[in-house]
Structure formats: structure tokens, C-alpha cells
Amino acid sequence: MKKLLIIVVSCLSLLIAGTVELTSVRAKSPSTMTELKASVEKHLIDLDKTFTIKYIGNGDDFAKYVNQLIPNAIAKKPEIDSVVKSYTVTSYRSKNGGEATFNVKYYTSKAKQAKALDKIKRVAKKIKKKYPNSPYKQVKNVHNYVIGQTKYDSREADRYSIYGVMYDGRAVCQGYAMTTYYLLKELDIDVRYVTGFAGGENHAWNKVKLNGNWYNLDTTWDDSAANKYHYFLISDAKLAKNHQWNTSAFPKALKTYAAK
């Protein structure tokens, strides 16, 4: 799992903030915190490295929340959590709003992310065509594709990314779990990206919903297990024997899936 570097600089004048190389401000400046949040999230999902946002709402709200925008986005959106490596925020406030410049480093490039997402769409389309009426078989084939496609490698340059899985065939747990996440989302199957601990280390896996019930799915550990389905659609009780996570933050998996 990754380590995130965060640097926040609050400035009282635009002159100080201006020492960072800026990109052009979007045409329409956000005027509410909801709009500001959406704007920042859009930049992060697009893997924009440097972007400046001018806010024309309440300056006090801006000053209070601007430094929490990226942490909140990381906490709530796996698509952002999985790509952001580190970031800095340089901001200043005024009575009528404020302005912030975000400099972000990612675990992959915009071009690689787009290429990997395109391949994910093609793979999901093939699975959907082969098993149009069986969500269970779709999940099973996603599981088999990810572990068949990937070798665990902590030295791979793109080890944290879906590109590492889809094109290099090498990744760590974050790459496995996010590729599984994107494939299942593409198949319209309800899925969660879960972070916690396993084997004494930071770890990532998935929760999947089938027939109204939630189950755990750990493609990383299944890849190295003698039984390739040991962590396939299992209960929280079974997973908790060697995995730990914030159980209140995710749907409960009360039982192991019984395939018919």
C-alpha cells in the first residue's frame, strides 16, 4: 500500500501563492463548497498535475475547508485514492472567497490511466457478452482474469496502478484491488474498494454484492494461495482470521457465497 505525502501552505497574499507555476483557472469559478469539491475531484480523476481554482463564495468557509478537499476526496473515492501519491496546497482567502493552487503527484500518468481504463472496458465487454445473465459468473471471471493476468511485484514501477495489472502484468495489492473494482463497476456490479491490514501489512481488497448480499473478495491473496478461491466471496468472519479493517465503514458480509 502507498504512503501519502501532504504539504499545505496557507498564504495571505496572492504574491506568495504565485511562486507556484499556475495553470489557467477554469472559466466558471465555483461559488459553493459543493461546487468546489466537485471541481477538485474532477481534476484529480483527470490526473491533472497542477491546477488553480478561484472560489467566489464565503471566504471563511473556503479557509476552513480548502485543505480538507483532497483528503476527503481520497477517503470517499477509490478512483482518487488509488492514484494520488502526494500533493501540496497553496491558498489564500479574501472576504469574497479565495484561490488555491494544487500540485499533485500520481502513481501513474494520465495517458497510462486512460489506456488501462480502455482495456478494462474491452475486457468487461467480453465477459458481459459471454455471461450476460449471470452476475456470479461475471464476478468469477473478473477474479480469474485479474489473478491470471498479474504477478505480485513490489518493484514494478506502476505497481499501485491499474496499468501495472492491465499492461505490465505486475502489481501490488492496490493494483489488484483497483483493477477488480473497475472491472466490476464496468459490469454494473456493486463493489467496494477496502483498505486495511493483512499479514501485518497495509492491504487492499474488495467487497462485492451478489443477490442482495455482500461478500469479500481478495484477488491478491488468491493469486498466491494454493486454493485460488480461498478468498473468493467469503464472509467477514472468515476473512477476519487474517484481515483487519474498519468494519463500520463497509457493508457487512454475513456469509460465504454458496455457488449453485
Collapsing DSSP to helix, strand or coil, 15 comes out as helix
Does the pLDDT value for residue 126 go beyond 50? Answer: yes
Q: What is the pLDDT of residue 5?
A: 56
Q: What is the DSSP letter of 164?
A: I
Q: Is the pTM of this model over 0.85?
A: yes
Q: What is d(CA 252, CA 207) in angstroms, rounded to the nearest whole number?
A: 9
Q: What is d(CA 169, CA 178) in angstroms, rounded to the nearest whole number?
A: 14
Cell numbers linked to 39: 471541481
Cell numbers linked to 15: 504574491
- Smallest CA-to-CA distance from 119 within 163, 77, 78, 84 is with 163
Q: What is the mean pLDDT of residues 63-67?
A: 95
Q: What is the pLDDT of residue 157?
A: 93
Does the pLDDT value for residue 166 go beyond 80? Answer: yes
Q: What is the pLDDT of residue 10?
A: 37
- Average pLDDT value over all residues in the chain: 90
Q: How open is the CA angle 153-73-21, to the nearest 5 degrees?
A: 85
Q: What is the mean pLDDT of residues 236-251?
A: 97
Q: What is the mean pLDDT of residues 122-143?
A: 97
Q: What is the mean pLDDT of residues 22-30?
A: 58
Tens-place pLDDT, residues 170-186? 999 999 999 999 999 99
Does the pLDDT value for residue 8 go beyond 80? Answer: no
Q: What is the mean pLDDT of residues 40-67?
A: 95
How many other C-beta atoms are found inside a 10 Å radius of the C-beta of residue 37? 17
Does the pLDDT value for residue 252 go beyond 70? Answer: yes
21: exposed, middle or buried (Cβ count in 10 Å: 0-12, 13-18, 19+): exposed
Cell numbers linked to 159: 505497481
CA 260 centroid distance within chain:
32
Q: What is the mean pLDDT of residues 126-145?
A: 97
Does the pLDDT value for residue 260 go beyond 80? Answer: no
Q: What is d(CA 70, CA 106) in angstroms, rounded to the nearest whole number?
A: 13
Contact 21, 50 (CB under 8 A): yes
The highest-level CATH class for domain 110-249 is alpha beta
Tens-place pLDDT, residues 109-120? 999 999 999 999
Q: Which residue has the cell 465555483?
A: 30
Q: What is the pLDDT of residue 178?
A: 98
